[in-house]
Chain A
């Protein structure tokens, strides 16, 4: 649905986007993740036909945004970083105007405006001037503006910025409900948002794509070696050593959180309680079965066994900081 091929954008001598390529399939939600100034907005502006790339090309809904801008724009809805509202128009007037310039036929215009307002829950603000709306409502009017012509592709630049937690949840639900019919690219700097809404993530840093994958794969892959969290009830035994002896295990570290007694006269923590370990293993070796067998055959209690995932935050920090030495080497 969207195909970005080797896009580069220079502002004078500054390179904002450097050889970026990715694809978005029909009905997919793609998250665009990166620190401020990474080139997210520039890439989105190129996709929407706001500005041409210095090099490379972008195809949206089957049309090259540079050679067939009108066709591509007709199929694209765009919410810029700041919602593009006219302060002296009412919400309804504004959406009506947007519908006109987006090419919605006159007969459908009224119903489209109403539908867009309902979907984004702004109907009660229909007759309020855009300039008098709160930040959250402005953002939602911006979103309904992007939806009004029912575009195949939606490009949303930080759609939840400035919303309160309830509105954020509503907006994410809305975005998820739009997937399928629409192909969505959204940028954000809120990491859990990507994990919750997006099927795939593009992490961009200093104008370059540093990772493209599903949020799950990213967190799993970037951990390097697989890590398991295991909790066993093994009174008086050296469970750590036993676990370390399992084939494929490279390292065992204690992951015990000190258990603080609740009352003043409760017993001090002793080794008789459950023990927790983090077991690292060689990649591609699933040690879970062996770990379980070791515990069970010794008659210990297996309380918990689960893979440890890196949070997207860790991944993000890792990929964006990994880039630093390379940058330094190039400079």
Chain B
């Protein structure tokens, strides 16, 4: 555990020592803020209209605004995450520091978990900053907090899947650019895999829908924590970490 934390701390420190962390957080907040503004304006307009025509129970912020906002955040994550993971392993391989890690009394699993937790901490920091926008919402309105927490949990889990996949891909190559691009392509595939389902048989559609990483996020965005979705994400993360472990081990044997 001590080793995992030492490596996680080192990872996090290296993100903040380079411009990466600042660019990522800044960019993410900018995009999130833009979506926030657009959705807020749309919501204000809609609720005014509903007031004029005397809509039933009034407008629901959670339903009409936050849900859409979370779904769009998931899209931003798709673009941003490869930048977090692309250098984790490839840079260590290129610069030779991997020799230090692999000849230290730490296990491969400790190294991998340390790197994963470090990346997850950076991602959590990114999400944390976006909560400032949510505070504005609480200031001017009264949204329900539970669905928001569910949404953030969903984002964290989905991001974890991207990170573990990215970590695996980064462990395959010395080249950051290759790692970054492959990661992005993989995420995109996982994203659109269910588009194929539209025209195929019901069974295939079911399977493809289940595989699609965004399909499982919809419930979270609505504010529903379904164990089925949580288990999907957890399994996904574990598979990613397992593949990374295998890749590091096989690298060892091949030399």
A interface residues with partner B (beta carbon < 8 Å): 9, 11, 16, 42, 45, 48-52, 69-71, 73-74, 76, 78, 80-82, 84-89, 93, 97-98, 100-103, 145
Contact = CB atoms under 8 A, between A and B. Distances in A.
B255 A145 contact: no
Given A52-B252, A84-B95, A97-B6, A74 B105 contact: yes
Contact of B253 (A52, A69, A84, A85): A52
Closest 10 interchain pairs by CB? A88-B17, A84-B100, A100-B6, A73-B105, A84-B97, A74-B105, A48-B103, A80-B99, A82-B96, A101-B104
Interface stretch (B7-15, B133-141, B184-192): B7-15
B14 A88 contact: yes
Counting chain A CB atoms within 10 Å of each CB, the highest count among B14, B17, B96, B255 belongs to: B255
B6 A78 contact: no
A175 to B, nearest CB: 19
Tell me the interface secondary structure of chain B in the complex: helix
Contacts of A73: 103-105
Interface of B: 2-3, 6-7, 9-10, 13-14, 17-18, 95-107, 252-255
B122 to A, nearest CB: 15
Given A9-B255, A70-B107, A85 B97 contact: yes
A71 B105 CA distance: 7
B96 A84 contact: yes
B216 to A, nearest CB: 36
Contact of B7 (A51, A70, A101): A101
B99 A101 contact: no
Contacts of A70: 105-107
A303 B2 CA distance: 70
B100 A145 contact: yes
5 contacts: A50-B252, A70-B106, A78-B103, A86-B97, A88-B18
Contact of B255 (A11, A80, A84, A93): A11
Contacts of B103: 48-50, 73, 76, 78, 80
A102 B102 CA distance: 11
Contacts of B17: 88-89
Nearest to B3: A101
A88 B13 CA distance: 9
B99 A11 contact: no
A144 to B, nearest CB: 13
B14 A100 contact: no
A89 B14 contact: yes
Contacts of A74: 105
Contacts of A50: 99, 102-103, 252
Given A45-B255, A102-B104, A145-B100, 11 more contacts: A49-B102, A52-B253, A70-B106, A71-B105, A78-B99, A78-B100, A82-B95, A84-B95, A98-B104, A101-B6, A101-B104
A33 B184 CA distance: 46
Nearest to B100: A84
A160 to B, nearest CB: 18
A145 B13 CA distance: 19
B157 to A, nearest CB: 29
Contacts of A81: 96
A163 B100 CA distance: 21
Nearest to B10: A97
Contacts of B98: 84
Contacts of A84: 95-100
Contact of B13 (A85, A89, A102): A89
Nearest to A47: B103
Contacts of B97: 84-86
Contacts of A97: 6, 9-10
A51 B13 CA distance: 28
Given A85-B97, A88-B14, A88-B18, A103 B105 contact: yes
Contacts of B106: 70, 101
A163 B27 CA distance: 44
Contacts of B18: 88
Contacts of A49: 102-103
Contacts of B96: 80-82, 84
A102 B105 contact: yes
B105 A98 contact: no
A46 B86 CA distance: 28
B237 to A, nearest CB: 24
A48 B104 CA distance: 9
Contacts of A9: 255
A42 B255 contact: yes
Contacts of A85: 95, 97
Contacts of B105: 69-71, 73-74, 101-103
Contacts of B255: 9, 11, 16, 42, 45, 51
A1 to B, nearest CB: 17
B36 to A, nearest CB: 33
A100 B2 contact: yes
A239 to B, nearest CB: 60
Contacts of B104: 73, 98, 101-102
Task: Give the interface centre of A16, A80, A101 by most chain B CB atoms within 10 Å.
Answer: A101
A56 to B, nearest CB: 15
B87 to A, nearest CB: 11
Contacts of A16: 255
